[in-house]
Structure 1
Amino acid sequence: MMLGNFREKILSWGAKLLLGLLIISFGLWGIGDYTTNTGGDDQIVAEIGGQEISSRELESQIQVSISRMREVLGQNITNEQALAFGIVDQTLNGMVQEIIFSEGARNTGLIINDDLLNQEIRSDKQFKNRAGQFDRNVFQQSINRAGYSEGTYVDLYRRELLQKQLLSAFEYGISVPVALTDSVLRYREERRVIKLIKIKHTALNLIPDPPSSILAKFHSDNAARFSAPEYRAVTLLRVQPKDISDEIEVSEEQIKNEYDSRISEFSQEERRKIQQILVSEEPLAQKVMSRLKMGNDFIEVAKGVANFDQEALELGDLTRGELAIRELGDAAFLLNAGNYTVPIRSSLGWHILRVTNITPATKKALGEVRNVLKRIIQLDLAADSLITLSNQIEDELGAGASIRDAAARLNLKVENIPAIDNQGLNELGKSIDGISD
């Protein structure tokens, strides 16, 4: 069983080393003398790190150990024979070791959760049936033969797993990352040599203050570095078409007339992607048509008969008016996509056109652009109104009103600019919105 196998491993050098370290540490707590319980009272036979082993617990575990010996030897042995084998010392030593390892695991933060414990038990070969599957009946029979209840055995199994984890660090060693060891080495072993040069203040040759004549000349030569531009506070009355456009009423008739005058802006002509085979002689044009009627590909016919590559075939994505020859435009815009014309004669030769794609004409309705048109009309009328408004402002100022008073009477807003130079910049050297332009 797993518990027996583990006790064999406990004889390895790593386990002995760990056990020795743990025993030394627990020596600080003390392990009391133990004896067998000869009286009726439950006595403490050992104490390890605050955990006690009572005489009753020891006696119970001794009986379990004797039962195991009988099962292993295959014969009945008396209690006296078992005692002669040193069963008391062996059992107590085993209980002490389990407590020491459990405390060590707890102090290092090792835990075995229920999922891992269940997985380990179910994967234990001794609890599997002939089909290789975990069998609860086999499990129950095994722990009963060993003299354990299920709860006691599961608890012991958990302890054994904890001890196995604790021992693994000594059995297989711990690998420390190179980056960590290098950093620790540099920190501990790095040495630096520092050289200091001490210069007394009295040894310095102090630079004397320059005479007034030199200071005056430097100031004169670098006047810009010691000068600031002139700034003025300004009260600004600024009126733009957008400031008064919202107050202008626009009729539906004005919007309709504007729409009609700008109809080209809201319309898009039909466009077609067109390919062309152009040959100089009619017989060659008829040969092209004959091949096309036989179902041959337009591009392949162009290559084979007229020696045209695909790039030379492409006329582009065109409107009717963009085709320089009217007859070609009329013919091309009667075709469906994928169809081709009969040979058409022009001063350039014989043309056979094919339409590969059609983009239909579009036109935005008046309702779609109504608000845009209204805004355009308002801004146009506002620009005209600015002339009248400008004259009104001049009349107010001419009558002695201040800019603020004139703005108030005409329901206009003024702006206060606390500081502005002749370049339209403020004291931070930044442009003032709408001024520098």
Structure 2
Amino acid sequence: MLTALRRLASTWVAKLLFVLLIGSFAVWGIGDTIRSFGQDNAVARVNGAPIEIEEAQAAIRREMQRLSRQLGGQFDNDPRIRRAVAQQAIEQLILDRVLRAEASDLGIAVPDQAVRDFIFSIQGFRGMSGQFERPVFENFLRSNDLTEAGFLALVRADLARQQLALAIRSGAAIPDALGNTLLQWQQEQRSASLVTLPLAAAPEPPAPEEAQLRRFHENNPDRFSSPEYREASVGVLTADRISREIEVSDADLAAAYDSRRNQFETPERRKLEQVLVQDEEKAKAIAAAWSGGADFATITREADAAGGQAVDLGAIDRAGLPFPQLAEAAFAAAPGTVTTPVRTDFGWHVLKVEGIEPGATRPLAEVRDQLRTDLTAEKAADLAFERANQVEDALAAGATLAEVAQRFNLGFATIRTDANGLEPEGKAVELPVIEAARAPLLRTVFTTEKGAAPRLAETEAGFVAVDVKEVTLPTLRPFESVEPQVREAFIAEAKRREMEERAAGLLAAVKGGKSLADAAREAGFGVREIGAVTRDQRDGPVPAEILAPLFELKANEPTMARTRDGFAVAQLLEVTRPDPAADPAALARLKAETSQAMAGDLETEYVAALRNRADVRINARLLDSLAQP
């Protein structure tokens, strides 16, 4: 035998086979390298510049940590949330690149002193002395996975973006013609005739015959069929369940408080109104008039006349003001006073302090329970992934779901339920999850194939494994067993048709030339005249379903709508539009609010246009991999 093998090995056929074997092993051994040759390892590229995996991972990690700290135990780290967070983090990195490029093209530069002043003004970096403290700053960097150089770069880029945003937003001003039109639309009032036809007032229809009921029963199987039922075993692993095993020490709480101090500090906020003009003398004149007691509506008109604008900034902290000199002036002024004009790259600012919301720091003793809950949730989330791998390995090795649930402390239940979580007797089935997770768990049960081997999958309800034993499909219940329900539904439908026909008759009569009042009296219905109806009425005399159609009508036109309890028919009688000149304060408020909204829209459109103009390429494969746990 060995002699025969040696002879075969010396032939050209054997040599060819060895070459093929060696080649196949080589390809298998370096297959990953061969397959990835020529592929782009950047998560995204903006105008050719890469966003590397490490930067993307850090951005996603920071965002996940921020959400976890902000939401605590309510944060559900499921696949869809991770995917959305990953997409948002990558999109923010893309926009950062786009805006940096635009700022560079426009020659916008942020000096080191401006970066330093901005960081020193952040309330969260101040200690008990009220001054900037480097240890607090370094704790912030560590807890957010940032380097000092990286954070300074982020601040510099953000200040440059703010300059861009202010330049765009400063062009948002509402002309008087548009302001007057908007105010008239907003405060417009309408009066109408109204007839309501509740189903409860419908006459009792003739008693239906059995043949009618049987036909109604057959024509509406969705109303009278039993639901699909599933018999299944479910095992659930959640961070909430694991959290009962977690212990958090006092040392852990103290360290977490130090690293997250900025979460428990509320900076001082000031309610500010601002005027921005380009001429210093006009700014001084406006400041003098404002200090002399002129109201905001008057100041708004003066700002408009000076080619500038007046804006109600609302309540804002130091960090919300884009320039240190603005923050210094605003937070040095006393309540009710007006600052002297302050110059920035965008012109001359005059600020009035309308009110002060003092800052505060919550001590560790006050937030101890909150911190304990947050830390427990974070540790439980980490442990959940580790235990999920152990459960999956045990299931793959052949253990039953019941065995795995007992070994790894899973929530477990054997159930027979419909998609709404009800047993055949109508009682709510008991599930091993909190109330908010019932619906996601039931969706998993009803999307799992019968007989499929249970496998642990991450869902909105946590890590879930389902073993579907039996499926009972929906069937039309026998007529005799549901006759009372069929009769009730038949009568209700007959009443609905009756009232709809009567409402349609009123509508036709008005369209034929009668007034709604006359048509209603002839038909035996009561009619009401409703006046001073506005677009934003809440819980008023006009049904909500007919309010919007009413404001689309011309004088004397009718409309009809289905309401929650029946039908309604209305006829427009009169339209009253306000005189904007009679309420200058309301006009000023509307113009300020609309200017702010327009400024936001302009900024959004500007950023979107920059992004569309840039050459943005996203590596979907790498993005999907980053969204994985």
User: TM-score, with normalisation over the residues of structure 1?
Assistant: 0.40
Larger strand fraction of residues: 2
**Larger radius of gyration, structure 1 or 2?**
1
User: TM-score, with normalisation over the residues of structure 2?
Assistant: 0.29
